[in-house]
Structure 1
Amino acid sequence: MSKPLYKISFLNHGRVYELYARRVSSGSLWGFVEVAELVFDVHDTLVVDPTEERLRSEFGETRVLHLPMQSVLRVEEVERKGQSAIRDAESGERVVTPFPFPAKPR
C-alpha cells in the first residue's frame, strides 16, 4: 500500500499556496502544522510548468515545513497529485510569473 498523499492549501504573503506532501501532522511545535516529504512533478517532457518550478526552487530543499495553524486553509487527502499552484488570495486567480524576454539590443 502506498503512502497517503495530501494537498495542503495555506496563505503566504497574500497568496494561497497549494502543495502536495506525503506527511502532515500537528507537529511538535505547538500551534504549527508539520508538512514533510513534499511532492513535485518529475519532468520527462519539454513542457515545464513555471509555477511548479517556482515552488520547487522555493521549497525543494525543505525537509519539514512548519506552517502556523492560522495560515492553513485546508488539508485534503487525495488519490493522485494535481497541479501545484500559487493563487491570489482575493481573486483566486493563478499568479503566473511572466516568461523573461531578452532585453532589446541598443
Structure 2
Amino acid sequence: MANLPVYKVIFHNHDQVFEMFARQIYQSDMWGFIEVEEFVFGERSQILVDPSEEKLKNEFAGVNRSYIPLQAIIRIDEVDKEGAAKISDGSSADGNVASFPFTGLQSGKKSSED
C-alpha cells in the first residue's frame, strides 16, 4: 500500500494564522472554497505538549471536513511527513504575513441616468 500524501495548509482565521496538516485537499463544489479532510495531528506520546496544537485538536475534534475560503489560504504544500500543527498571531506589525488585497464587490450603487 502506497503512503498517502500529507499536505500542510496555512491559512488566516480571524487575526491568527493556522498551520495544519491533512491527507485530503481539493477544490470544493461550493464556489470559492477549498475542502480539507482527514486532519493529521502529532502523536500523543510526545513528552512536551504544544498548547497551540492541543487547541487545534480541540477545535477540530469531530470535524470531518472543513471548508476554507480561497482568500484565507496563504499556502498549501505537499510534504513528506506531518509536523506539529500550530497557531500564530497574524496581526502583529512585525510579522511577515500580509493579507492579499481584496476590494470585494460594491453593492447597491446604481448610476443615475436621466
- AA partner of residue 86 (structure 1): I
Identity percentage of aligned residues:
39
Cα deviation digits, residues 73-96 of structure 1 (max 9, x gap): 100000011221111114349xxx
Work out which of the two has the higher radius of gyration on C-alpha atoms and give 1 or 2: 2
Separation in 1, partners of 2:21, 2:88: 15
Separation in 1, partners of 2:81, 2:8: 10
Q: Name whichever of 60-69 and 38-47 sits farther off.
A: 38-47
Cα deviation digits, residues 10-39 of structure 1 (max 9, x gap): 000111000000000001111100000000
Where do residues 1-106 of structure 1 align in structure 2 (5 Å cutoff)? 1-91=2-92, 92=95
Cα deviation digits, residues 29-59 of structure 1 (max 9, x gap): 1110000000011211443211111000001
- AA partner of residue 57 (structure 2): R
Structure 1 length as normaliser, TM-score? 0.81
How far residue 67 of structure 1 moved from its aligned partner, in angstroms, is 0.4
- Show structure 1 runs of 5+ residues with no match: 94-106
How many residue pairs match? The answer is 93
Q: Calculate the aligned-residue CA RMSD, in Å.
A: 1.5
Separation in 2, partners of 1:87, 1:45: 21
Counterpart contact for 2:52–2:87, Cα < 8 Å: yes
Give the match's secondary structure for 2:71. Answer: helix
Give the match's secondary structure for 1:23. Answer: strand
- Show structure 2 runs of 5+ residues with no match: 97-114
